[in-house]
């Protein structure tokens, strides 16, 4: 099971869910990008090539692979708040509102938009539902095409 057919197709498909933030200058040869968005600094595995984005204002589709043990739909009758916490070098845990549901992929707003995928089945959810999630490292960063 694959979640993407190519990096450019994945970035184009999920471009509406790109996060806006600041890309910091990177170390030559490092595959990790330092991207600040939503009050957090995320380390993203560069999926678009070493020179696809320049330091400064930037947009990235942030893609994480869900950890099934840390992912579930939240109760509808309770108030929820967006949360996003960093785990280790390049993983996150949080709570957010589902923006869209695709084949084994959720787009979730949790301080920043995230595209969260699973190689197994996802808990039943529809747009507007709230979910709790945990990703496995690393988070991937895709530069979306220009609008």
**In the chain, where the domains are located:** 7-142
- Strand-pair partners of 81: none
Q: What is the pLDDT of residues 63-75, one digit of tens each?
A: 999 999 999 999 9
For residues 6 and 13, what is the distance between their CA atoms, to the nearest angstrom? Answer: 11
Q: What is the pLDDT of residues 71-123, one digit of tens each?
A: 999 998 888 999 999 999 999 999 999 999 998 999 999 999 999 999 998 99
For residues 63 and 25, what is the distance between their CA atoms, to the nearest angstrom? Answer: 21
Task: Tell me which residue of 142, 62, 134, 130 sits closest to 91, measured CA to CA.
Answer: 134
User: What pTM was computed for the model?
Assistant: 0.95
Q: Supply the pLDDT for residue 112.
A: 98
């Amino acid at each position: 099971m694959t979640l993407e057919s190519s990096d450019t197709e994945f970035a184009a498909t999920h471009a509406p869910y790109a996060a806006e933030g600041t890309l910091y200058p990177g170390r030559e040869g490092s595959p990790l990008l330092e991207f600040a968005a939503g009050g957090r600094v995320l380390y993203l595995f560069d999926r678009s090539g070493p020179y696809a984005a320049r330091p400064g204002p930037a947009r990235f589709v942030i893609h994480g692979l869900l950890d099934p043990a840390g992912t579930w739909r939240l109760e509808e009758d309770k108030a929820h708040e967006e949360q996003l916490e960093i785990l280790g070098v390049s993983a996150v845990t949080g709570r957010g509102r589902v923006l869209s549901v695709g084949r084994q992929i959720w787009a979730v707003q949790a301080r920043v938009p995230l595209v969260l995928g699973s190689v197994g089945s996802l808990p039943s959810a529809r747009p507007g539902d709230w979910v709790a999630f945990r990703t496995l490292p690393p988070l991937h960063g895709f530069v979306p095409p220009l609008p």
